[in-house]
C-alpha cells in the first residue's frame, strides 16, 4: 500500500455556517405536505444482517460504515434496488462517493475529497484515499477506499454539497428542508459511463489518482462488460 501523502486542508466548514448557501437547502421547497406524508410513510431500507460472508471473500474486514450525512440517515448507504444490474454498484460507490456526487448535477461543479467528523466537513486535496478494496459492512461486501472514510463530494461555489448529520438532526423531521433537498437533486443521476470514460465528470487526476489508475477508471472492463452484458447473475452483492 502507498505511503500516506501530504494531506492539504483547503478548508474546514462547520455544519451550521453555510446553511443558506448550501444548494441542498436553498432550493425552493415544493409540495411540503406531500413530503410530510412521504416522510411518514417512508420505510428505511432494511439491511440484511446475515452473518454469512459471501464466498470467495474469506477475510473479515473491520470496516464499519459511519452514518455521517443526512441522506444516509434516512436512506442508508444501500438505497438502490430498482435496477437489478447496476444497483449493487451504485450502492458500492456510495462508500466512496457522496450521494450528491451522482444526484446533484449542475454546471461549474468541482469535485473534492471530503471527510466528515463531528458534523464538520473537511475538504482534502491529497491523501491516500484511492485504491479500492472489498470491505464488510453490516455483513455485506462492498467496495471502499482503503482505510478511509473519505468520499468524493461536489463543491458548488466553494460550498460542499453535503449536509452532515451531526448538528442537523432536526432537518430529518423538517418537511420543508427535505422538500428542498430533493428539489435540488437531478432527475438524471450520473451513470457508469458519465464517469468511466476519458474526460468524464470527475477529474480523476485532479482527485489524486495515479495515471495508471486513471487509465483503469477511464477504460474499465467491468463497466464496459456490464453495459454490454444484458443480465447479470450476481447472488447478493449488496442485495
Ligand atoms: C428525512 C428523510 C430523508 C432525507 C434526509 C433524504 N431523503 Fe431522499 N427520500 C426520502 C423519502 C421519504 C423519499 C420518497 C420515497 C418514495 O417516494 O417512496 C425520498 C426519495 C429520494 C430519491 C428518489 C426520488 C425518486 O424519484 O424516486 C432520491 C434519489 C433521494 N431521495 C436521494 C436523497 C439524497 C441524495 C439525500 C441527501 C441530500 C436525501 N435523499 C435525503 C427521505 C429522505
Ligand atoms: C454512482 C452514482 C450514484 C451514487 C453514488 C448514488 N446514486 Fe442513487 N441513483 C443513481 C442512479 C443512476 C439512479 C437511477 C437508477 C435508475 O433509475 O436506473 C439512482 C437512484 C436512486 C434512488 C431511487 C431508488 C432506486 O432503487 O433506484 C434513490 C432513493 C437513491 N438513488 C438514493 C441515493 C442515496 C441516498 C445515495 C447515497 C447513499 C445515492 N443514491 C448514491 C446513482 C447513484
Ligand atoms: C460519479 C462518478 C462515477 C460513477 C457514476 C460511477 N463510478 Fe465507478 N468509480 C468511480 C471512482 C472515483 C472510482 C475509484 C474509487 C477508488 O479507487 O477509491 C470508481 C471505481 C469503480 C470500479 C473499480 C475499478 C478498479 O479499477 O478498481 C468499478 C468496477 C466501477 N467503478 C464500476 C462502476 C459501474 C459499474 C458504474 C455504474 C453502475 C460506476 N462505476 C459508476 C466513479 C464513478
The per-residue pLDDT for range 140-156, each reduced to its tens digit, is 544 445 556 788 999 99
Q: Is the pLDDT confidence value at 139 over 60?
A: no
Contact status, residue 193 vs residue 54, Cβ threshold 8 Å: no
| Residue-level pLDDT at 212 | 80
Q: Give the number of the atom of ligand 3 that is nearest the alpha carbon of residue 226.
A: 35
Q: What is the pLDDT of residues 115-128, one digit of tens each?
A: 898 999 988 765 55
| Centre of ligand 2 from the C-alpha of residue 65, in Å | 17
CB-CB neighbours of 231 under 10 Å: 7
Give yes or no for residue 80 CB within 6 A of ligand 1. no
Which pLDDT value is given to residue 207?
81
Distance from residue 71's CA to the centre of ligand 1 (Å): 7
Give distance in angstroms: CA of 74 to centre of ligand 1.
Answer: 8
Give the model's confidence band at 27: pLDDT under 50 very low, under 70 low, under 90 confident, else very high: very high
Cell of 5: 501523502
Select from 43, 76, 80, 195 the residue to mutate for testing ligand 2; criterion: most ligand atoms less than 8 Å from CB.
80
- The best mutation among 189, 202, 223 to test binding of ligand 2, ranked by most ligand atoms within 8 Å of the C-beta, falls on 189
Residues with CB under 6 A from ligand 3: 86, 89-90, 93, 96-97, 101-102, 130-132, 145, 152, 190-192, 194-196, 201-202, 216-217, 220, 222-223, 226
Higher pLDDT, residue 134 or 225: 225
Domain residue ranges in the chain: 9-189
Distance 31 CA to ligand 1 centre (A): 14
Average pLDDT over residues 107-114: 91
Share of the chain above pLDDT 90, in %: 45
Helix (H) or strand (E) holding 215: helix 211-218
Is the predicted pLDDT of residue 130 greater than 60, yes or no?
no
* pLDDT for residue 127: 54
- What per-residue confidence (pLDDT) applies to 2? 35
Residue 182 CA, ligand 1 centroid: distance in Å: 6
Give residue 185's pLDDT: 98
pLDDT, residue 138, reads 55
Q: Read off the pLDDT band of 159 (50, 70, 90).
A: very high
CA-CA-CA-CA dihedral for 206, 98, 162, 37, to nearest 10: 160
- Interval between CA 122 and ligand 2 midpoint (Å): 24
Amino acid at each position: 500500500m502507498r505511503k500516506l501523502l501530504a494531506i492539504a486542508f483547503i478548508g474546514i466548514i462547520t455544519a451550521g455556517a453555510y446553511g443558506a448557501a448550501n444548494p441542498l437547502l436553498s432550493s425552493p421547497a415544493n409540495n411540503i405536505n406531500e413530503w410530510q406524508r412521504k416522510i411518514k410513510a417512508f420505510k428505511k431500507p432494511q439491511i440484511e444482517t446475515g452473518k454469512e460472508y459471501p464466498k470467495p471473500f474469506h477475510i473479515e474486514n473491520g470496516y464499519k460504515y459511519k452514518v455521517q450525512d443526512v441522506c444516509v440517515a434516512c436512506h442508508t448507504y444501500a438505497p438502490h434496488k430498482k435496477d437489478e444490474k447496476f444497483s449493487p454498484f451504485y450502492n458500492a460507490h456510495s462508500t466512496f462517493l457522496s450521494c450528491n456526487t451522482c444526484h446533484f448535477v449542475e454546471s461549474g461543479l468541482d469535485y473534492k475529497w471530503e471527510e466528515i467528523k463531528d458534523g464538520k466537513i473537511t475538504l482534502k486535496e491529497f491523501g491516500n484515499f484511492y485504491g479500492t478494496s472489498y470491505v464488510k459492512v453490516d455483513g455485506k461486501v462492498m467496495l471502499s477506499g482503503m482505510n478511509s472514510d473519505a468520499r468524493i463530494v461536489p463543491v458548488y461555489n466553494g460550498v460542499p454539497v453535503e449536509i452532515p448529520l451531526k448538528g442537523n438532526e432536526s432537518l430529518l423531521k423538517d418537511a420543508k428542508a427535505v422538500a428542498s433537498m430533493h428539489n435540488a437533486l437531478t432527475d438524471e443521476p450520473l451513470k457508469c459511463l458519465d464517469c468511466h470514460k476519458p474526460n468524464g465528470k470527475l477529474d480523476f487526476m485532479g482527485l489524486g489518482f495515479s495515471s495508471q489508475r486513471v487509465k483503469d477508471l477511464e477504460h474499465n472492463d467491468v463497466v464496459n462488460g456490464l453495459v454490454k452484458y444484458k443480465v447479470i447473475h450476481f447472488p447478493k452483492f449488496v442485495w
